[in-house]
Amino acid sequence: MLGGDGWLSQLIPDRLILTAFLWLNYLVAAIFAISEVMRSRTSQGSIAWLLSLVLLPFPTTILYAIFGLKFFDEYAALQTHSGRELRRAGAGKVSILDLPTSAEWPVLSNVSQLPFLAGNDAELLIDGAATFKSIFDGISRAQSSVLVQFYIIRDDELGREFASRLIERAQAGVAVHLLYDDVGCFWLPRAYKRRLREAGVKVAGFNQRHRILRLLGPTRINYRNHRKMLLIDGKEAWTGGLNVGNEYMGLSPIFGRWRDTHVRVAGPAALAAALTFREDWQWATGEVLTPDVPSPIPVAGPQPVLVMPTGPADMLEDCAIAFNEVIARAERRLWIVSPYFVPDVDMQTSLYAAAMRGVDVRVLVPQKPDHRLVWLASIAHANRMVNHGVKIYRYTQGFLHQKVILVDDRIAGVGTVNFDNRSFRINFEITLWFTHEKMIGEVGDMLEEDFAASHLLTTQERASQPVAMRFLSEAARLLSPVL
């Protein structure tokens, strides 16, 4: 083990046990190496893993179990057989399939495995007060089903009100299902979940059925369900950046205003979002939920909407492919908002190319950090962007957490995807894409206000950064693939 035996022998003084441990670790390293070769997506990452497994099998085997292993073949099969193709055919039969918009954005439609659906109304929800008023009003309207999933749920004032709203509907005979992420809700008390269950709410953790994942930790620690969705009666859907907790209402004494964006859609797109929830629920519990499909499917407005779920079970790097496609088609403006801006080489190249062809490329990031290591890495990436013509804005009126992209006057995306490797390749995420002029205009106006409340990073400011800060940020940047 290239010198590793010495300190291991201090931990395991019995020579026989130590030898058995070492040989077992070599065997596990060999199995992991074969797995990496067979499941490799990028040669650079795989070569790094393989070299580490060969040269330093311990503790690389532990790190690989946490960050390298994937056990999502079952989820991929579930997606194949969950009815997406039937939904595509059914959409055409009832005239909710928007063929022109799907043809204009074929990559997004193929990534989503779902078409743009016509007949929707969409409402942009800015910050926590507007978002949770809309969500709570929606829950109170539910007559048959409430499907809910959040990455983080707090047992605080907002979290308890949220629970009370779900309990009221469950006791009124509505089928209520709540799905939470094991990592994001690690500190959520059992009493909170027990209260919901005793009131008739079905509650599940995303990985609760997959014991080997809970033991080894690859999805429990690394692969997370980062989606935030609420779905009512198959008619309305909410998604965006907000979780359930007081800080998302701007009540944190550390962050102050929590600048975030959610969106509510009513119409056929809500059915596509519900399909994503049902796939997640089946993975988590093994239970197949009966679709709540209104008849006739309601037409709520004139807007086409595409629901794009992505995650580590995808056969390709679907989320990255979709965002690269949208960025590559920008002609006039490309505005990106993300609290965690840690782009990989492909994304950096796409942004540089857009700036070189004269596109107004702006990236809005927070001035305040909530995850310091990611914040440091984003500083390094921002510095490089500024040197290549990309405008970096830092939001100064609180903490920025929204995930929004706007391209020209053609398309806008609102959802849960951060501009980093974790969202593009590791987490389960969801994005709603809009092409109607009403939503495009509202997103543009919203971002204009956000840029006005921000500070533009200059090359002079970048050059004047302390050497220690630049060193730390560049060091953090090296961890970009796992941040």
Residue 278 tokens read as: 């049902």
Cβ neighbours, 10 Å, residue 197: 12
SS3 19: helix
| Nearest one of 110, 171, 148, 468 to 308, comparing CA atoms | 110
Catalytic annotation present for 233: yes
Candidate list 70, 193, 381, 403, residue with the active-site label: 403
401 is catalytic: yes
Choose among 399, 397, 383: nearest CA to 461: 383
Of residues 226, 235, 381, 436, which has the active-site annotation?
Answer: 226
Which amino acid would we find at residue 270?
A
For the beta carbon of residue 89, count every other beta carbon within 10 angstroms: 11
Structure tokens at 203: 């509650």
Choosing from 98, 121, 155, 233, the catalytic residue is: 233
Concatenate the DSSP letters of all residues of 200-244 into one string. Answer: T-EEEETTTT-HHHHHH-IIIIIS-B---EEEETTTEEEEES--B
Contact (Cβ atoms closer than 8 angstroms) between residue 336 and residue 363: yes
Distance in angstroms between the alpha carbons of the first and the last residue of the chain: 28
Active-site residue (options: 70, 193, 228, 436): 228
Tokens of 243: 């979780």
Q: Give the span between the Cα atoms of 81 and 101, in whole angstroms.
A: 26
Catalytic (active site) residue 408: yes
Which residues are identified as catalytic?
Answer: 226, 228, 233, 401, 403, 408
